[in-house]
Amino acid sequence: MMVMKDKLVKFNHKGMYYKFRKLGIVLLACISVGTIVAVPTYITFREITNQAQHAEEEKQDSLFEEEDLESASFE
């Protein structure tokens, strides 16, 4: 506990200053880790959604082409 008293005397800060500073550092670390996890997850989710929409569009396009071929063969 002597280290804390030395800091208080040397820098003329109150004890709450160091507690809030530690809280700020921990909060910043949590936000950083959350961002590091969230950004790649969002990018992956967006890519999966785009691929699913692209596949659905391809399926609809091929379905319309088949209908056009069937209607052309009956004429």
Three-state secondary structure along the chain?
Answer: CHHHHHHHHHHCCCHHHHHHHHHHHHHHHHHHHHHHHHHHHHHHHHHHHHHHHHHHHHHHHHHHHHHHHHHHHHC
Distance CA 1, CA 13 (A): 15
CA-CA-CA-CA dihedral for 52, 58, 60, 62, to nearest 10: -150
Q: Look at residue 68 and tell me whether its pLDDT is greater than 90.
A: no
Q: Domain residues for 27?
A: 2-74
pLDDT score of 71 more than 80: no
**pLDDT tens sequence across 7-51:** 677 777 777 888 899 999 999 999 999 999 999 999 999 999 999
Q: What is the pLDDT of residues 52-62, one digit of tens each?
A: 888 888 877 77
Q: Into how many domains does the chain fold?
A: 1
